[in-house]
Amino acid sequence: MATLYEPWNLLTQLQRELERKQEIHNGIPEGTSATAEWVPAVDIKEEAERYVLLADLPGVSPSSIDVSMENGILTLSGKRETEAKTQREGYKRIERLYGSFHRRFSLPDTVDSEGIEARCSNGVLEITIPKKSVLQPKKIVVVGEG
How large is the average pLDDT for residues 93-113?
89
What distance lies between CA 19 and its chain's CA centroid? 14
Q: Mind listing the domains of the chain with CATH numbers?
A: 30-82+97-132 (2.60.40.790)
Amino acid, res. 48? A
In the 3-class helix/strand/coil scheme, how is 22-40 assigned residue by residue? Answer: HHHHHHCCCCCCCCCCCCC
pLDDT of residue 85: 65
State the pTM of this model. Answer: 0.66
- Say what the pLDDT of residue 58 is: 94
CA 146 to chain centre: 60
Q: For 48, which DSSP code?
A: S
pLDDT averaged over the chain? 82
Mean pLDDT score, 88-110: 85
81, 73 contact by CB (below 8 A): no
- Asked if the model's pLDDT at residue 69 lies above 90, the reply is yes
Q: State the pLDDT confidence band at 75, using cuts at 50, 70 and 90.
A: very high
C-alpha distances in angstroms, 145 versus 58, 61, 140, 142? 71, 71, 16, 10
The pLDDT value recorded for residue 41 is 92
pLDDT the model gives residue 43: 95
Question: Using 50, 70 and 90 to split pLDDT, how confident is the model at 95?
Answer: confident
pLDDT at 32: 34
Closest CA to 82 of 94, 72, 68, 70: 94
Rounded CA-CA distance 49/47 in Å is: 6
pLDDT of residue 131 exceeding 70, the answer is yes
pLDDT digits (tens, 9 = 90+) for 15-68: 767 766 665 555 544 433 334 578 899 999 999 999 999 999 999 999 999 999
The span from the CA of 123 to the CA of 107, in Å, is 24
The Cα 36–Cα 74 span in angstroms is 17
Residue 28 confidence (pLDDT): 46
Q: Is the dihedral of CA 30, 34, 35, 41 positive or negative?
A: positive
